[in-house]
Amino acid sequence: MDRIHIRELAVRCIIGIFPEERREKQDVIIGLTLACDCRPAARSDDIRDAVDYKKIKRAVLNMVEASEFHLVETLAERIAEICLAERKVIAVRVTVDKPGALRFARGVAVEIKRRRNEPGGETPAADA
């Protein structure tokens, strides 16, 4: 399985359960690992055969900036859904880091792995 990494995507959004977290946007740092087959694009050297990671990045940024989730886990799940909407992405690993969420820690991060639904409706953990 090939992988495309989008690292340290910085965005601001409303995230958190406490009133002070709901007043102003906070920084979150997003990491994506998109599992795919890069061979068709490598053979053809044609963008139409590649994962459009710019389109994915734009969709993630738009959703996150407009979001007002309480939980980082929910934000990560929605990001995974956007990534898997791209048919060439087989699986995704999403990390959402909330800097300054805990005193004395640089940040708190949630990492999830999701795989495109397989026959039978199961969604096993991805090795993205």
Q: Token pair for residue 89?
A: 């992405």
Tell me which of 57, 88, 98, 113 is the catalytic residue: 98
Contact yes or no for 27/13 (Cβ under 8 A):
no
Q: Is 98 a catalytic residue?
A: yes
Alpha helices in 1-128 (DSSP H): 19-23, 39-44, 53-66, 72-85
Which residues are known to be catalytic?
98
